[in-house]
Structure 1
Amino acid sequence: MPDSSFSSPDPGRPPAGADTSRAGIARVYDASLGGKDNFEADRQALDAVLEIAPGMCAVSRRNRAWLRRVLRYLAGVVGVEQFLDAGAGLPTVSNTHEIAQLVNPWARVVYLDNDPMVSAHGRVLLETNEDTVYLHGDLTDPAVLGTDSPVWRYLDQDRPVAVVLGSVLHHLPDSADPAGIVARLVEALSPGSYVAITHFWDPGEGSPDHELAREVERRFVEKGLGSGWYRTRAEIESYFAGLELIDPGVVPLDQWWPSGPVRAPETAEERLILGGVGRKGGLVAVPQAAPR
């Protein structure tokens, strides 16, 4: 599929791109998963966090496991056939298209990331999958899902789409208005669509984990990566405004398991990230996609 791009008016820190002298969000996440697509600056940024929160790599693995369960639910139980993984990062293992297409071979997946290096790398890895495309684009761009968006060249805007915002919104500063960004995305989606979100959580003063959240945030923001904010439950739940929350709601990642047992987070770091899935209500008729 041909390349398409958006502008990138991100009011926060610009993506690292090909600048290997400073850490990039996608590459730090890759390093936390034990990947090889990262550089010394990325590993140093991760090490600064691991000094005071050694369980953060487990958080990345839990986030990946959450993604697998959510995609199996959406592609299988719910029957969604179109997926947009926004802020997707570097392709690793158990990617969105692999999970969704394992459940439904006709599932179509669009990846979106604002880092040009990441999107170029993703296109190379995914060029043999005709139902998967990697686009360069920025969530903070109001046109990201606008009428002329390249996304709608590959996905049918009149049919339900599942949007995945896994570990993305906590890298947007308050000035970018994360809740407003999600609201714009939801407005562009047809009824019957879903939005899946994970986000770093600060449980607030009085919680034994509050100081850890504040210190990890400081390490992310001030020690090389430049972003990574812990927000309150109320702030995270505000991202689902206008959506019908799927049980069990906004919960620690291991507890979002609609088809299996509830599990307790094993470490303090794992307690400090919440996830949820919301559905856009309204009547919807879903025509069957023709076999490709």
Structure 2
Amino acid sequence: MTEQPDSAPRAPEGVDTEKPSAARVYDWFLGGKQNWAVDREFGKKLEQQWPLVRPGSKQNREFMNRVVRAALNAGIRQFIDLGSGVPTAGNVHEVIEAELDEDDTATVVYVDYEPVAVAHATLILEDEAATDWAGIVQADVRDARAVLRNPRTRELIDFDRPVCLMMMAVLHFFGPQDRVDEVVANYRAALAPGSWLAISQMTEGDGSGPALEGLRWFVEQYRKTSNPVWLRDRAEIEPFFGGWPLLEPGIRHLPDWRPERKLNAIEAEATPFAWCGVARKP
């Protein structure tokens, strides 16, 4: 993995590249190129305290990629990625482009509330000439009505047909005051039968020792920001699927959901700290 991009990416107009962006730091964790030195330095500080943040991020992205491929194989051609950040380094539209033939089509809606993420996403989709089938909506995912009724969402998504709705590493930003059960239920209600709901969520899981202490430090740092993190165990996550049948193999740690490769030692150490699952609307 390269330590920094070969050349600085083109900055969207009005975006501050002197302050770190959570979306761009995550992009760096994934090996993307939509980040600057200030983002990399911030990411390195987090990584020094919790070395599992990068392999954990990679596991989350690989889970998302497997979900998209599985949904495509099941015939789903509409995708909504809630809390998408910067859509690069193996994001939804890239997986679709790699998987589908030229005569097959799909649509994607990315959703993020951070102006910096939306600005980068807009520029990337324009540069990749993908704006006719992939779009970005600036909205808080807590407001399901605003997301679902946005003109860009309505332009790209037909809610009378199945949709793969993804909440990847986003629900752990919902605190007790955010009525997470109600928010997820509002999204489920909008989807047609045959739709998929995919969720990943950070957890203490069955972690232990220094890795668990590092995670608790990581969470404590985020609690001091405008995006605090809330961990949940498996029993708290299962109700988010609303009783829909879970696809095999059910709720698992990220690398254990339909794995495609073996893990190295540090990836195995990161495994207990997130849950994931996918359910299908009857």
Q: TM-score, normalised by structure 2?
A: 0.81
Map 1:1-292 → 2, pairs under 5 A: 18=15, 23-39=20-36, 42-43=39-40, 45-76=42-73, 78-104=74-100, 105-127=104-126, 128-129=129-130, 130-147=132-149, 150-203=152-205, 207-208=208-209, 210-222=212-224, 226-257=227-258, 266-281=267-282
Q: Any stretches of 5+ residues in structure 2 without a counterpart?
A: 1-13
* Contact 1:213 1:230 (8 Å CA) reproduced: no
**Distance of 2:112 and 2:133 partners within structure 1:** 18
**Distance of 2:123 and 2:188 partners within structure 1:** 30
Q: State, as a whole percentage, how many aligned pairs show the same letter.
A: 33
Judged with a 3 Å threshold, the aligned counterparts in structure 2 of structure 1 residues 124 and 42 are, in CA distance, closer, same or farther, namely closer
Q: Any stretches of 5+ residues in structure 1 without a counterpart?
A: 1-16, 282-292
**Distance of 1:122 and 1:148 partners within structure 2:** 17
Amino acid paired to 1:169: L
Judged with a 3 Å threshold, the aligned counterparts in structure 2 of structure 1 residues 134 and 218 are, in CA distance, closer, same or farther, namely same
Structure 1 residues 164-202: Cα deviation after superposition (integer angstroms, max 9, x where no partner): 111111122221122221111101111111111111012
* Contact 2:21 2:116 (8 Å CA) reproduced: no
**SS of the residue aligned with 1:143?**
helix
Judged with a 3 Å threshold, the aligned counterparts in structure 2 of structure 1 residues 48 and 18 are, in CA distance, closer, same or farther, namely same
**Distance of 1:21 and 1:261 partners within structure 2:** 38
**SS of the residue aligned with 1:275?**
strand
Query: Which residue is 1:288 aligned to?
Result: none
Shift of 1:45: 4.3
**Distance of 1:34 and 1:146 partners within structure 2:** 31
* Contact 2:253 2:274 (8 Å CA) reproduced: yes
Shift of 1:84: 0.7
Amino acid paired to 2:242: A
Judged with a 3 Å threshold, the aligned counterparts in structure 2 of structure 1 residues 41 and 231 are, in CA distance, closer, same or farther, namely farther
Amino acid paired to 2:99: V
Structure 1 residues 208-266: Cα deviation after superposition (integer angstroms, max 9, x where no partner): 565444232113323x57422221111222221232211111111111017x5786983
* Contact 2:161 2:192 (8 Å CA) reproduced: yes
Structure 1 residues 11-60: Cα deviation after superposition (integer angstroms, max 9, x where no partner): xxxxxx94666543312211212334335664454334323321211111
**Distance of 2:155 and 2:50 partners within structure 1:** 42
Q: Which moved more, 1:34-43 or 1:191-200?
A: 34-43
Q: Which moved more, 1:42-51 or 1:175-184?
A: 42-51
Query: 4+ residue stretches of structure 1 with deviation over 6 A?
Result: 261-265
Give the number of the structure with larger relative contact order, counting CA–CA contacts within 8 Å between residues 6 or more apart: 1
Judged with a 3 Å threshold, the aligned counterparts in structure 2 of structure 1 residues 215 and 187 are, in CA distance, closer, same or farther, namely same
Amino acid paired to 2:274: I
**Distance of 1:65 and 1:91 partners within structure 2:** 14
**Distance of 2:55 and 2:112 partners within structure 1:** 23
Query: Which residue is 2:9 aligned to?
Result: none
**Distance of 2:71 and 2:50 partners within structure 1:** 32
**SS of the residue aligned with 2:145?**
coil
Amino acid paired to 1:134: I
Structure number with the higher helix fraction is 2
Q: Alignment RMSD, CA only?
A: 2.7
Judged with a 3 Å threshold, the aligned counterparts in structure 2 of structure 1 residues 112 and 250 are, in CA distance, closer, same or farther, namely same
Shift of 1:102: 3.1
**SS of the residue aligned with 1:197?**
strand
